[in-house]
Chain A
Amino acid sequence: MTNEPILEVQNLRYCYDRGREALHVDRFALRRGERVAVLGANGAGKSTFFLCLNGVLEAQGRILLSGKEMTRRGRNELRRRVGIVFQDPDRQIIASTVGEEVSFGPMNLRLPLEEVARRVDESLRYLDLASFRDRPAHYLSGGEKKRVSIADILAMEPEILVFDEPTVSLDPKNVELFERVLDRLRAEGRTVLISTHNVDFAYRWAERAVVMKDGAIEADGPADEVLSDEALLARCSLRPPALLELARLLREKGVLPEDVPLPRDVESFKKIWEGQK
């Protein structure tokens, strides 16, 4: 597989209502199969950035997909290839039954009806929603609505999947379900971009972290490096991941050896710990 970026952004600028710039990203590139967490406090510009990537907001600057510049006319292609799962499913779900809802995107892609039916089937199955097809979307629970909103986007088969604050309104059980979906996407080598202010989640899941502040990218690099930069995190109103802090403390006290890589999740922490004994 080539290492060419599938998405590239240069000098992206966006202003809401002639006010101050809400977004100014000089450079950002995404390679196939990357798992990127976009971190930042509320109002740091994460959602605006995502809406620009998908062509909903018209930003100044260049957006390149697989090296090809997207002009105004290419907006539909952006929407096809970059899919956003919005934060609040109630601001995304539009149809009255789950099946129709998931078909909305593929229908807008003007696919043949058999293809639409196939994609709807497939993404409903992917999210364990097959039995929900004829159910009204407005009577589902929060976690179920979230799954429907993910199926919505999977059915469009985008190359890049973008999740805007996916875990905010989910209970722990649904967060777990969601992470299982992410694991599957990871196994399939999909390119995923997630905005979050949950640093623990980002540390566990992401291989690369982007930190945003006041509409600009403040840091961009391997997740463990970015998330262990305390000064950076403090400047951007974030706190370091609890597990990382704990592991560092144990290392300082000589409990954990220096040469073992810091654990990314509780499971690997356990393994290191048990290896110590």
Chain B
Amino acid sequence: MAHDHNSGPVSRIDQEAYRSNLRRLSPVWKLAVSLTLLVLCVSLRSIPVSLFVLASTAAVLCLAGKTPPRLYLEALGTPFVFILLGTIAVALEVGRAPAGDWSGRFLGLWWSCSRAGLLRAAQLAATALGAVSALYLQTMTTPVNEITSALAALHVPGLLIELTYLIYRFIFLLSATARQLRAAAQSRLGYCGFGRSLKTFGTSMGTLLVLSLRQAGDYYDAMLSRGYDGSLRFYEEKKPVTAVQAALGAAWALCPLAVWLVTR
């Protein structure tokens, strides 16, 4: 059965997209809802709106999509750390004299923080987190092949779509080759010591380039032998948007506006 050598978070999100219960929904619907939520989240910059987006996408993903909450939280963890580090800089002010509402001396400098600054930082963090969760609604329920087909429906140029598709496929081939090269080098003590590691890494990246060029050539031959003539065509199952889905999607996407009006 399927075995899996990639267990990094990215590959787990990828696998989740194939497994999700929400996969049967139209990818265009998901793209539309998640982009609307994203735009509202970023443009309204309101903490309640962001929290609403965060909570509603989490609920839909975990309850309707049956995404394991643990995976969702882990996937949110990485951007959360970045957002936290970024907003600390917004909240804190450093100067030669105390300022703001709270301050303290540390390393010969005054570190201060104001109510307004804190509020701004919180707003920023909530907005960013809400935006990320809106995107997760898409990435955790839609495999890349369906995202590209949704983009095609939105008339994104074919070349970009095909590149996306092929790059996605090649990520797995390249990472498998890179893993093999790394293991082979490790087994010959290639990563023992800093200098040696650097040298081994450089050499193996060179090899990876040569190998992947050759692989790309073989790949192209295989595509030609199946009648490839310059454009990638696959048979896709149609996933039409039903009236109920459209109504629910519209209602969901409008909720942030209502939240904003109420809490303004």
Contacts and interface: CB of A to CB of B under 8 A. Distances in A.
A94 B236 contact: no
B254 to A, nearest CB: 32
A108 B227 contact: yes
B226 A79 contact: yes
A101 B18 CA distance: 15
A56 B225 contact: yes
13 contacts: A79-B224, A80-B227, A83-B225, A84-B225, A95-B234, A96-B143, A97-B18, A100-B235, A104-B232, A108-B227, A120-B235, A134-B18, A141-B3
Contacts, number: 104
Contacts of A106: 235
By secondary structure, the A interface counts as helix
A75 to B, nearest CB: 9
B147 to A, nearest CB: 10
A56 B3 CA distance: 33
A152 interface: yes
Interface residues of B, number: 36
A56 B1 CA distance: 33
Contacts of A109: 227
Interface stretch (B66-74, B124-132, B166-174): B166-174
Given A79-B225, A141-B3, A96 B233 contact: no
B215 interface: yes
A27 interface: no
Contact of A94 (B3, B18, B144, B169): B169
Nearest to B18: A136
Contacts of A80: 227
Nearest to B226: A105
Contacts of B3: 139, 141
A160 interface: no
Contact of A79 (B2, B169, B215, B227): B227
Contacts of A108: 226-229, 233
Given A56-B221, A139-B4, A100 B236 contact: yes
B209 interface: no
Interface of B: 1-4, 14-15, 18, 23, 143-145, 165-166, 168-169, 172-173, 176, 215, 218-219, 221-229, 232-237
A54 B223 CA distance: 12
Q: What size tier do the contact residues of chain A reach?
A: 35 or more
Contacts of A152: 226
Contacts of B222: 84, 86, 91-92, 94
A107 B18 contact: no
A96 B235 contact: no
B17 to A, nearest CB: 9
The 9 closest A-B pairs by CB, nearest first: A108-B227, A103-B235, A100-B234, A107-B233, A105-B226, A138-B172, A92-B222, A91-B218, A96-B145
A249 interface: no
A136 B221 contact: no
Given A94-B169, A116-B235, A144-B2, 18 more contacts: A79-B224, A83-B225, A86-B218, A90-B176, A91-B219, A91-B222, A92-B219, A96-B143, A99-B235, A104-B232, A105-B227, A108-B226, A134-B18, A134-B23, A135-B2, A139-B2, A140-B2, A156-B226
